[in-house]
Amino acid sequence: MKVERANSSFAWRVLSNFCALSSLQMANMLLPLVSLPYLMRVLGPEKIGVLAIAEGFTQCFVVLANWGFGLSASREVSLLRDRPQELARCYSAVVSARLTLSLLGLLVFVGVIFTVPMFRTERFVFLLSYGKVIPCILFPIWFFQGLERMHFIAVLNLLGRISSTAFIFLLIANEHDYVIVPVITMIEAIFVGVAAQSIVFAGFRLPFTLVGPRLVFGQLREAASFFVVSCSIVLYTTTNPFLLGLFVAPAQVGYFKAAYQIARASFNLLHCLCFSLYPAMCKIASESASRAWQVLKRTLFLAMIPTAIGSLIPTVCAAQISRLAFGPGFDETIPLLHVLGILPFIGLFTNTFGIQGLLAFGHQNAFSRLMVFVTCIHLIIASLLCMRFGAFGMAVSVIITETLIAFGSFRLLRNTLRQTGVFSDSCCESTPRVAAHVPPRYSSHSQLCTRGASPR
């Protein structure tokens, strides 16, 4: 009876969080389908390419500011949710670490902008694009994710996206207004971040307090392996337009950016499932490895068919989607969609075996080594293919990289679970329950409490 009740509670939490994030991602899919064609027509592919290059370069500093806390801190919050004093220390330490990294990144960012001639020409666009780092400081997504309160993330992001989309139509009228796009993004980030901090302070009674450097460096050390994973993911995903821009004209980057956004539409729903399931998988894996493996297999089976359909639509209907979304003159996105359309299906296996598997089971070091190796291969393959085939070469390299990560993650997860006996014939038997690991740097500084952090 207790097992059935626990399974029901787990399924309900994941389902409610998935529904909240899915509603957000549906808006994230629909709103760009409205704003992106408008921007492509008004600004043209060249200006869109400039914005994509600036965004890709800024994303490197977003990763630096995040430092893998999206994975490490969310897991820690999930384990500390019933200990509010330790949770408050964890929250302040992570925010302090992100603020420090953001300021250090800003110094490097400004130095590069005024050193590289290509960036100096569009320095205002690049400097304004650094506003994408603001959510790393103000918006603690990792905190809400760890507590499995995803509806806060969904509501705040939804309000920000709707307002930014409205401002795009109100303020951007010709190609000279392309500088306004990063300004709108920055204003959205500030609005959402301030609202999120208000919820944390008033709803969860977790005000930001000054913490010692030992706790800050402890958080940085704890998230180091996750930082390698996050950095590798960004290098083979969001920085691809920046890398492509080193070899081709900005217009080609604009075509790739448009096709990539369409191909990732159904992938965003998969990201919702991954985002919702990860903190719960961390807690289950700390208690029973065999039960976590069963949940992992069941999730993969249920997600395969809808993900396959989501991959098939942009692949088969590439021409119709391109002309409907962007109008005539953007036929160069059609072959890119033919290649990138299968990305969500391959990404399902990457997320299942990598994020939900290796990271939730505590094998982040093995996963980070795999990511570094595959990312190095991606940079080499992408550079060679971009020089020869332009945007089409980048699309092919993205699919190759995603496939290598999915295959490598499965091999690593299978080998590690075989060593613990989970992958053997007795995998249906429950392994001994172990206490969830509480980071000693928090439990040693305050008395353990039984009252959880809950909103008023």
Q: Any idea of the CA torsion for 4, 10, 16, 20, to the nearest 10 degrees?
A: -160
Give pLDDT tens digits along the chain (456 positions): 444 444 555 555 666 666 655 565 566 556 666 787 788 788 887 888 888 888 878 888 888 888 878 777 887 887 787 787 888 888 888 888 888 888 899 999 988 888 888 788 888 888 888 888 887 788 888 888 777 777 777 777 778 888 888 888 888 888 888 888 889 988 888 888 888 888 888 877 777 777 778 888 888 887 877 787 777 777 777 778 888 888 888 888 888 888 887 887 766 666 666 666 777 777 787 777 788 888 888 888 888 888 888 888 888 888 888 887 777 777 888 899 899 988 888 988 988 888 888 887 878 788 888 888 998 899 999 999 999 899 999 999 999 999 999 999 999 888 888 877 665 544 444 444 444 444 555 444 433 333 334 433
Q: How far apart are the first and last CA of the chain?
A: 31
Q: Tokens 């990063």 identify what position?
A: 182
Domain ranges (residues) in the chain: 38-222, 223-420
Q: Kindly state the tokens that stand for 269.
A: 């729903």
Residue 293: closest CA among 283, 281, 302: 281
Are 242 and 129 in contact by the 8 Å Cβ rule? The answer is: no
pLDDT tens-digit map of 51-86: 888 887 888 888 888 887 877 788 788 778 778 788
Instruction: Write out pLDDT tens, residues 266-320.
Output: 666 666 666 667 777 777 877 777 888 888 888 888 888 888 888 888 888 888 8
